[in-house]
Structure 1
Amino acid sequence: MTSEEGGECVSPDDDEIVRTPEITRRLALLWDPPEPKTRGRRASLTRADVVLAGIALADEGGLDALSMRRVAAALNVGAMSLYTYVPGRTELIDLMIDRAYAELDLPEAGAPWRPALSQYAHQCWMLYQRHPWILQTNMWRAPLAPHVLDAQEAGLRILVDTGPTERQVVEILSVVDNFVQGLARTAIAEDRERESTGLDSDAYWTSMSSFWADWFDVERFPTMNRIWEKGGFDDPAGPLESSLERLLDSIELTIDRARNSS
């Protein structure tokens, strides 16, 4: 638990908190960014310009395409001038992620949990489609940034009063996050395959159709064959819709069980 004293969130073991100049600078850039020092000259850029240029580069070529030099070139300025606004690439990626998360249309407090959680999942899915480079970062170490925490707050708020324990609430939201991120990574990889080969999913599997006639062994894979014949592999609703509904069904069972046991 935490308590607020003098506007600062302080833990009971405050004397054990680690504060380094690097981390303090990194967090201050997200929460209380200093004004760029331009030595009396009128600034030709804003920090937002730098962040948006970084997002544009990453949207096009992924994080491998992102460097301070390339951002500077996109803005027609010298690379050294960027350090007036952002200390380095790590901090720039933090700011880019926070700016991207600001695009989320998060569910309002008090909304019924199932449509709210569906909205949360769909918003995250669309965010990753717009900015696939986010999934190149370590999502377990997402920046402690305002809009990133807004998203987590909204997700936890959806579930916190539905019946499960606080620990279960965290687990449920983690399952939803991992589910959406995993599907998004697969969809992004499929998009890249289509762009590089010129074949969409249907065309690819048509090109591989001889396998089923020449190599597939029904006796070895009888369950797979049975499910295929019944249309089990058909996915008319898209990669997210039907799977998300099944996941929400499971969450509903967990919520009902928690309510009945309380």
Structure 2
Amino acid sequence: MQQEWEPGEAELDRLRQDALAHAADQGYPVVRSPEVTRRLELLWGISEPPTRGRKARIALADVVAAGVAVADRDGMEALSMRRVAGELVVGAMSLYTYVPGRAELVELMVDQVFGELELPAAGLGWREGLGTYARQTWRLYCRHPWLLQLNMWRGPLAPHVLDAQEAGLRTLAGTGLTAPEVVRTLALVDTVVQGTARADIAEDADRRVSGIEFDRYWESVSSFWTDYFDYSRYPTMARIYADGGFDATDDFEAALDRLLTVVELSLVAAGPTR
């Protein structure tokens, strides 16, 4: 079990100074624009809609929840300010009191659903903590498939999104991996989680549309292997099949177990915990 790290005020101040110095060394200037400032203020709850005049029928939280409902039901391609307004039974123009536009609404939606995660607590062993992180994010993508229609590598700099990243990084910090290795390992986990969630969602959609289960689909095209498959062209595939390589149906837990084993091998290669 990893020792829980709780930095004091002095160390937090040093961390801030080190992070800012590293950004300067990398050539990252501090850029502020009105558009980005508005987005960040919304995400961090600093900016509030005007309250003058009649009492508002809805709140920002209602707008975000309505956006999530539309995306959950119909996907990101259906999300528009007009559709969200229809969900709330208000005029589309009234939504601009709360959010500048669709892009900002999407960021707020992402942060809201990331708040559903039950993140691993500090102090867990790396395997338990990373496994919890992976399971929770996989379930999140399965509940909200529209997340996978977004570029999560440019995810919003929002509280719940960063909470998830902090928890993921924390599971690997202090394991003996260098800082770049920690980041790359967590990125590998995120990639596998997103890929398996995307595959599961696609399979579920095909099953609902066709009414054909996975095993029944492959049974329906089984004549291919007898009538068309070229054993001389694909000898490795044929050998793997004959040895039972494709017999077991895989699931997320099996894939996660193999992934964690790969991470464990990298920890062994890294040597004793620093």
Q: TM-score scaled by structure 2? A: 0.88
Q: Are positions 1:205 and 2:223 aligned together?
A: no
1:139 matches 2:148:
no
Q: How much has 1:221 moved relative to structure 2?
A: 2.1
Q: Which moved more, 1:149-158 or 1:204-213?
A: 204-213
* 2:20 is the counterpart of 1:11: yes
Contact conserved, 1:3 with 1:9, CA < 8 A, in 2? no
Q: 1:85–1:4: structure 2 CA closer, same or farther, 3 Å change rule?
A: farther
Hey, what's the Cα distance between the residues in 2 that align with 1:107 and 1:195? 33
Confirm or deny that 1:256 pairs with 2:265.
no
Q: CA deviation at 1:33?
A: 3.6
Are positions 1:96 and 2:109 aligned together? Answer: yes
Deviation of the 1:231 alpha carbon? 2.4
> CA offset at residue 196 of structure 1?
2.2
Q: Is the 8 A contact 2:174 2:273 kept in 1?
A: no
Calculate the aligned-residue CA RMSD, in Å.
2.4
Under a length normalisation based on structure 1, what TM-score does the superposition of the two structures give?
A: 0.92
1:55 pairs, out of 68, 76, 91, with 68
Deviation per CA, 1:111-153: give whole Å up to 9, x if none.
0110111111111110000001011111110000100000000
Partner of 2:7: none
1:183 corresponds to: 196
1:242 to 225, 241, 254: 254
Which 5+ residue runs of structure 1 have no aligned equivalent? none
Match of 1:196 among 203, 209, 223: 209
Q: List aligned pairs for 1:115-194, cutoff 5 A.
A: 115-194=128-207
Q: 1:4 to 1:166 in 2, by over 3 A?
A: same
Decide whether aligned partners of structure 1 residues 220 and 81 sit closer, same or farther in structure 2, where only a CA change above 3 A counts.
same
Q: Which residues of structure 2 form unaligned runs of 5+?
A: 1-10
- Offset of 1:223 from its aligned partner? 2.1
- The 3 A distance-change label for structure 1 pair 233 and 10 is closer
Q: CA deviation at 1:248?
A: 0.9
- Amino acid corresponding to residue 121 of structure 1 in structure 2: A
Q: CA deviation at 1:181?
A: 0.8
Q: Could you say which residue in structure 2 is the equivalent of 1:24?
A: 37
Per the TM alignment, residue 32 of structure 1 is displaced from its structure 2 partner at its CA by 2.8
**Contact (CA 8 Å) 2:176, 2:273: kept in 1 or not?**
no
Q: 1:81 maps to what in 2?
A: 94
Q: Quote the offset at 1:26 in angstroms.
A: 0.5
CA distance in 2, matches of 1:81, 1:63: 21
CA distance in 2, matches of 1:87, 1:185: 30
The one of the two structures with greater contact order (alpha-carbon pairs below 8 A, sep at least 6) is 2
Q: Does 1:44 align with 2:57?
A: yes
Q: Which residue of 1 aligns with 2:83?
A: 70
Cα separation, 1, equivalents of 2:111 and 2:138: 16
Q: Cα gap change, 1:107/1:3 in structure 2, threshold over 3 Å: closer, same or farther? A: closer
Write the deviation string for residues 83-106 of structure 1: whole angstroms up to 9, x where unpaired. 111111001000000001001111
Alpha-carbon spacing, 1:148–1:84, altered in 2? closer, same or farther (3 Å): same
- 1: distance between equivalents of 2:270 and 2:67? 45
One-letter amino acid of the structure 2 residue matched with residue 256 of structure 1: V
Question: Is it true that 1:225 corresponds to 2:251 in the alignment?
Answer: no
Distance change in 2, residues 1:17/1:123 (3 Å): same
Q: Does the Cα contact within 8 Å between 1:4 and 1:10 map onto a contact in 2?
A: no
Contact 1:3 1:11 (C-alpha < 8 Å) held by counterparts: no
Q: Distance in 1 between matches of 2:246 and 2:31?
A: 51
The 3 A distance-change label for structure 1 pair 185 and 48 is same
